[in-house]
Amino acid sequence: MKGIFITFEGPDGAGKTTQLQRLAKELQDMGHEILVTREPGGTAISDKIRSIILSPDNQEMVDQTEVLLYAASRAQHVHERILPALQESKIVLCDRFIDASVAYQACGLGVDIGLVKAINRFASSGLQATRTYLLDVPVEVSKERLLQRSQASAQAPLDRIEQKGFEYHNRVREGFHRIAEDEPSRVVVINAHRTEDEIAIDILADCKRLLEGLSK
């Protein structure tokens, strides 16, 4: 079997990182070779770009810069880490990918969606996820979770994107819904306003079906 590229998306605070790690453990226990990675980040260069993008000090960042920095971080990540892992037949589990640029920069900020997609096609050399799990929660719930997280840990203050207001995050959520409607065979919407175990069971069941289908 060639490598398989699986991404996790959703609003900040939807719990996708926890679910990605749970799926990684299950797949490893089943004997699969896994690469767990995230965007923006995943390489030394991409992590440096991540800190520029998310720093609350960089409030003056213009939309064009934001789009291009996410895409630059992605270009390095795709070519340095994701494509080589897929060549080695690994299952790549990536915390966010191009859908996040469509939801946050196109739908959230209002940057032209065709342009965002074109820039990211170039950055990723056309790589697309085989399956995307969209963890969906109402904005009120995700904002509350983020607030609790940042209060619980002095080391995790809200980043520049998380600090944006309710209206922005609502547009992002609607953007994710639109992506799911446009590509129902790739994007599986998961109700993330449930217990961690309930969510993990649904994701694992779908992933097992996906792997079975691909191995035929």
Which positions touch ligand TMP (CB under 6 A)?
12, 38-40, 54, 70, 95-96, 100-101, 104-105, 161-162
Residue 191: phi, psi to the nearest 5? Answer: -70, 110
Q: Which is nearer to ligand TMP, 38 or 173 (CB)?
A: 38
Amino acid at 143: K
Q: Which residues contact 200 (CB under 8 A, 6 or more apart)?
A: 19, 22, 23, 26
CA distances from 58 to 68, 131, 161 (A): 15, 33, 11
Cα separation of 56 and 167, whole Å?
19
Give the residue nearest to ligand TMP (CB).
Answer: 104
How near is the Cβ of 31 to ligand TMP at its closest, in Å? 28
How near is the Cβ of 138 to ligand TMP at its closest, in Å? 17
Q: Work out whether strand 131-136 and strand 34-38 pair parallel, antiparallel, or are unpaired.
A: unpaired
Q: Which is nearer to ligand TMP, 75 or 86 (CB)?
A: 75
CA-nearest of 2, 22, 29, 54 to 133 is: 22
Q: Which is nearer to ligand TMP, 55 or 191 (CB)?
A: 55
How near is the Cβ of 207 to ligand TMP at its closest, in Å? 20
CA-nearest of 147, 67, 148, 74 to 110 is: 67
Which residue shows structure tokens 């998380």? 162
How near is the Cβ of 51 to ligand TMP at its closest, in Å? 11
Q: Which is nearer to ligand TMP, 19 or 105 (CB)?
A: 105
How near is the Cβ of 126 to ligand TMP at its closest, in Å? 16
Q: Which is nearer to ligand TMP, 88 or 144 (CB)?
A: 144
